[in-house]
Chain A
Amino acid sequence: MIFWGNEYREETMRKTLLAGAAALALSLVVVGPAADAAPQHGGQMVVTYKDDVSTLDPAIGYDWQNWSMIKSLFDGLMDYEPGTTVLKPDLAESYTISDDGLTYTFKLREGVTFHNGREMTADDVKYSLERVVDPATQSPGQGFFWSIKGFDDMASGNASELSGVTVIDPYTLQIELSQPDATFLHVMAINFSFVVPKEVVEEYGADFGTHPVGTGAFRMTDWTLGQHVIFERNPDYYDADLPRLDRIEFQVGQEPSVALLRLQRGEVDILGDGIPPAQFLEVMGNDEWMDNVIEGGQLHTGYITMNTHMAPFDNKQVRQAVNMAINKDRIVQIVNGRAVPANQPLPPAMPGYDPNYEGYAYDPDAAKALLAEAGFPDGFETELYVMNTDPNPRIAQAIQQDLAVIGVNAEIKSLAQSTVIAAGGEEDQAPMIWSGGMAWIADFPDPSNFYGPILGCGGAVPGGWNWAWYCNEELDAMAAEADGMTGEDQADARLEKWRLIFISIMDDAPWVPVFNEQRFTMHSDAIAGETDEIFVDPVHIPVHYDYVYSTAAQ
């Protein structure tokens, strides 16, 4: 394939570096331009989507389409350096953490106003956090706030306030935790924690999602259901350099293949749903358009789970043998090269990823020998559950063929997504599951988000997401220790601990990590960014709207 050349590999290496420990240093150099170097304001862009936008309420919105739009309309106490996974204060000007890691004191920026003109204060932050935890809000993000003192009382409906959240003065907010939580600052950067004005929420009630008012770089000026959503520049945004564009028009109901034609004709600037799979090779093989596509990693891993509570996968050697039997390069080819082979649970873009770990090399002979050693010289019969939408059944067939080579006869169970998820949540139902279409995509860029629910003992419960039913008490203890390391000076040691946890998991081999999906963002010539990273931002999908600028306005 044409794009599978040297350029591609260099690009990937660069991304890996960026996401790793060097991210902070690099980002300071690449992003954060001097004031006089900032691109000029002005211009607009058109983004297309197939589906209508669902809600823009930060407490409710939880799909990849509204996720990034909400980030441009609202702000939280924390945010990330654009294009990276590095935390920075946002509505908070600064913060302090007590020595025991239990008390966070945020000093808020003064003079930040909501789109309705009212000044945002600490009371609004408290209200917004409590709104998400309040069971009446039905927020899918409620669970992220577990570590705040008083969470249980409020989540169960026994209290109307979070006892751990205290307004000291209009610009100072103190949050007490019930136990140390190193991911807490990430939680303060997640959409669910974004600050909303109480009076507007109460005015619109359940329709706040179509009448969003925040403090963000853009404000929503029109939403014609089924047709378009219009964002316009917030002239009072606290960072005068942002956003670069005056206006963004999100056109919905656009078939991705038609949107691609329109982009090539200059009517569309960003394909919100990505390049349609059927046209992918055509675009990537075309000299004119290849340059308009930016590739980057995303916080995603596709994996095969092996149920450690079901024979013969209760045998570690069997699981290791399966790890050696899967030809990941071939599976990557099935998805047209829109992924990179994986050898560990963490994706390369995630802090804590180990670039030096070699994993289990593809070696069917060694796998067969190991299987014999484990007591299965003639293999065994098993079942492979898979979601029934393309390309997943084709990937399952490739896995089936690889397993057949070492004598393992896997029957494919191709089922609706909800059925597969339900089967994975039963202790004795699905021996193997290919995660495609249901795989874990991180909610925030921290390794702990890839452990607890999918590999920790807490997730190995009926209805849980730990489909391997893998529970290693020792690693669970290590994980708890890592998340108790809240000091800034402990950050590196904490990541090192997480790296070790995930590599140790690979010794037990409850998963076959297969690939990490790559993102390919296609944009028109009318827009650009100071760096390519804003087009493949790990937390903004498809692009970091605030940082895109118009080439015509320069």
Chain B
Amino acid sequence: MLGYLARRLVQSAVILIGITMITFILSFLIPADPVRMIAGRSATAETVESIRHQLGLDQPIPVQYVRYVSRLVQGDMGRSYVQKTEVATLIWSRLPATLLLMAGAIAFELMIGLPAGIYAAARRGRIGDRGVMLLSFTGVSAPQFVVGLLLLYVFANLLAWFPLGGYGSFGHLILPALTLGITGGGWYSRMTRSSMIDVLGQDYIRTARAKGSSETRVVLVHGLRNAALPMIAMIGLDIGIFMSGAVVVESVFGWPGIGQLAWQAIQRIDIPIIMGVTLVAAVAIVVGNLIADIATSLFDPRVRLG
């Protein structure tokens, strides 16, 4: 177990170094001169060069990379070209909203996906199964902005049950989290269904049925306990994905998460923020994967890491 962990950590470190290189190169591919963005349109050539020198952008690229990484190690992700605030401060300020939306979204995904998947597995091949699978297909393929705007229009604008976007109360959380739950729950229901079908075919289930357990008890207790394992891995992956922000949903609902920060930065070509968010997202996905693997091994005695 420890050996595996060490190996995975080294792997992750290599991936992260690769990512810093890619984000660094990305910043040179974006067709905008950051110095001109800072200097403004009335700047003279001397001013432009003076700012370029102050930012160290006149140094050779390898030197710039080394400086970028050495600052990164100290937690310094640079300062936004447009907002002029430290990138680390900006990302940190978006963390509470991001985590809250992540929790809400995963809760809805499970609330929608688990029962639907169990139901479909129990009704395998019958009309109920087909119906659930069709719905989860629809959910998975529906564009988030369509679902989001629809919910917003009906439940916030027409019925006024929820606030029209924003952040602050529990009521603000429901609609964006539900949007993500609807569009992401389909994955959970499909996963639950297939692993339930798998489990329900096992010998011990037949034994349980033979003992005279009710079908409900067989499915929910004996079946679900074992079928739930892949869910843990899935939640781990979800955490990684949501940490990089739900760009579309955050924009529609005015939710101040990392996705909204990224989207604003992309529109304003604010390179340091784009680099910072990319890096945080990558770290989150790597860590999410790692947690998923470890958790699976802890919960499932059949999986031996080593």
- Across the interface, do A138 and B54 meet the contact criterion of CB distance under 8 Å? yes
A262: interface (CB < 8 Å): yes
**Which B-chain residue is minimally distant from A265 (CB atoms)?**
B164
- Across the interface, do B54 and A253 meet the contact criterion of CB distance under 8 Å? no
B84 cross-chain contacts in A, Cβ below 8 A:
54-55, 57, 60, 206, 209
Interface positions, chain A 253-295, Cβ under 8 Å from B, are: 253-255, 258, 261-262, 265, 267
Most chain A Cβ neighbours within 10 Å, of B32, B42, B261, B264: B42
Most chain B Cβ neighbours within 10 Å, of A135, A142, A258: A258
B11: interface (CB < 8 Å): no
Interface positions, chain A 434-491, Cβ under 8 Å from B, are: 443, 453, 463, 465
Interface positions, chain B 24-59, Cβ under 8 Å from A, are: 31-33, 38-47, 50-51, 54
A239: interface (CB < 8 Å): no
User: With A155-B46, A453-B42 known to touch, is A255 a contact of B251 (CB < 8 Å)?
Assistant: yes
A251 cross-chain contacts in B, Cβ below 8 A:
166, 254
A453 cross-chain contacts in B, Cβ below 8 A:
41-42
B39 cross-chain contacts in A, Cβ below 8 A:
138, 140
B268 cross-chain contacts in A, Cβ below 8 A:
51
- Across the interface, do B164 and A267 meet the contact criterion of CB distance under 8 Å? yes
B157: interface (CB < 8 Å): yes
In Å, the complex CA distance between A52 and B252 comes to: 15
User: With A135-B47, A142-B43, A226-B261 known to touch, is A255 a contact of B165 (CB < 8 Å)?
Assistant: yes
Nearest CB in chain A: distance from B148 CB, A: 10
In Å, the complex CA distance between A155 and B46 comes to: 9
Of the residues B38, B157, B165, contact of A254 by C-beta under 8 Å: B165
A554: interface (CB < 8 Å): no
In Å, the complex CA distance between A224 and B97 comes to: 12
**Which A-chain residue is minimally distant from B80 (CB atoms)?**
A54
Most chain B Cβ neighbours within 10 Å, of A57, A155, A156, A225: A225
- Across the interface, do A54 and B82 meet the contact criterion of CB distance under 8 Å? yes
Interface positions, chain B 69-114, Cβ under 8 Å from A, are: 79-80, 82-86, 89-90, 93-94, 97
B152: interface (CB < 8 Å): yes
**Which B-chain residue is minimally distant from A440 (CB atoms)?**
B41
A62: interface (CB < 8 Å): yes
- Across the interface, do A52 and B264 meet the contact criterion of CB distance under 8 Å? yes
B51 cross-chain contacts in A, Cβ below 8 A:
135, 138
- Across the interface, do B50 and A135 meet the contact criterion of CB distance under 8 Å? yes
B289: interface (CB < 8 Å): no
Of the residues B86, B157, B254, contact of A255 by C-beta under 8 Å: B254
Q: Majority SS of interface residues in chain A?
A: loop
B167: interface (CB < 8 Å): yes
A143: interface (CB < 8 Å): yes
In Å, the complex CA distance between A262 and B160 comes to: 11
- Across the interface, do B47 and A419 meet the contact criterion of CB distance under 8 Å? no
Q: B146-190 CB contact bits vs A (8 Å, 1 = yes)?
A: 000000100001000000111100000000000000000000000
B152 cross-chain contacts in A, Cβ below 8 A:
258
A265 cross-chain contacts in B, Cβ below 8 A:
157, 164
A416: interface (CB < 8 Å): yes
Nearest CB in chain A: distance from B264 CB, A: 5
In Å, the complex CA distance between A226 and B89 comes to: 11
A378: interface (CB < 8 Å): no
- Across the interface, do B165 and A258 meet the contact criterion of CB distance under 8 Å? yes
Interface positions, chain B 111-166, Cβ under 8 Å from A, are: 152, 157, 164-166
- Across the interface, do B43 and A143 meet the contact criterion of CB distance under 8 Å? yes
B253 cross-chain contacts in A, Cβ below 8 A:
255, 258
A136: interface (CB < 8 Å): yes
- Across the interface, do A138 and B94 meet the contact criterion of CB distance under 8 Å? no
User: With A141-B42, A225-B93, A418-B33 known to touch, is A258 a contact of B252 (CB < 8 Å)?
Assistant: yes
B31 cross-chain contacts in A, Cβ below 8 A:
416, 418-419
B260: interface (CB < 8 Å): yes
User: With A142-B47, A453-B41 known to touch, is A209 a contact of B85 (CB < 8 Å)?
Assistant: yes
- Across the interface, do B54 and A136 meet the contact criterion of CB distance under 8 Å? yes
In Å, the complex CA distance between A382 and B80 comes to: 40
Interface positions, chain A 141-162, Cβ under 8 Å from B, are: 141-144, 155-157
In Å, the complex CA distance between A54 and B84 comes to: 7
- Across the interface, do B254 and A258 meet the contact criterion of CB distance under 8 Å? yes
A336: interface (CB < 8 Å): no
Interface positions, chain B 262-277, Cβ under 8 Å from A, are: 264, 267-268
**Which A-chain residue is minimally distant from B164 (CB atoms)?**
A262
In Å, the complex CA distance between A52 and B89 comes to: 14
In Å, the complex CA distance between A139 and B38 comes to: 8
- Across the interface, do B50 and A157 meet the contact criterion of CB distance under 8 Å? yes
B242: interface (CB < 8 Å): no
- Across the interface, do A62 and B33 meet the contact criterion of CB distance under 8 Å? no
A94: interface (CB < 8 Å): no
Q: A365-395 CB contact bits vs B (8 Å, 1 = yes)?
A: 0000000000000000000000000000000
A11 cross-chain contacts in B, Cβ below 8 A:
none
A100: interface (CB < 8 Å): no
A504: interface (CB < 8 Å): no
A227: interface (CB < 8 Å): yes
A207: interface (CB < 8 Å): yes
- Across the interface, do A253 and B255 meet the contact criterion of CB distance under 8 Å? yes
Nearest CB in chain B: distance from A460 CB, A: 15
Interface positions, chain A 39-76, Cβ under 8 Å from B, are: 50-52, 54-55, 57, 60, 62-63
A518: interface (CB < 8 Å): no
A54 cross-chain contacts in B, Cβ below 8 A:
80, 82-84
- Across the interface, do A140 and B42 meet the contact criterion of CB distance under 8 Å? yes
B79 cross-chain contacts in A, Cβ below 8 A:
206
In Å, the complex CA distance between A419 and B45 comes to: 19
User: With A138-B54, A253-B254 known to touch, is A144 a contact of B165 (CB < 8 Å)?
Assistant: no
**Which A-chain residue is minimally distant from B84 (CB atoms)?**
A55
B256: interface (CB < 8 Å): yes
In Å, the complex CA distance between A52 and B51 comes to: 25
Of the residues B33, B40, B54, B86, contact of A140 by C-beta under 8 Å: B40
- Across the interface, do B44 and A226 meet the contact criterion of CB distance under 8 Å? no
Most chain B Cβ neighbours within 10 Å, of A63, A138, A254: A138
User: With A143-B44, A418-B31, A443-B42 known to touch, is A226 a contact of B94 (CB < 8 Å)?
Assistant: yes
User: With A155-B47, A418-B32 known to touch, is A261 a contact of B54 (CB < 8 Å)?
Assistant: no
Nearest CB in chain A: distance from B153 CB, A: 8
Q: Pick 15 A–B contacts, CB within 8 A, sort by A.
A: A52-B83, A135-B54, A141-B40, A143-B43, A156-B46, A225-B90, A225-B94, A226-B93, A253-B250, A262-B165, A418-B31, A418-B33, A443-B42, A453-B41, A453-B42
Question: Hey, which bits of chain B sit against chain A, CB under 8 A?
Answer: 31-33, 38-47, 50-51, 54, 79-80, 82-86, 89-90, 93-94, 97, 152, 157, 164-167, 250-256, 260-261, 264, 267-268
Closest 4 CB pairs of A and B: A140-B40, A226-B256, A225-B93, A143-B42
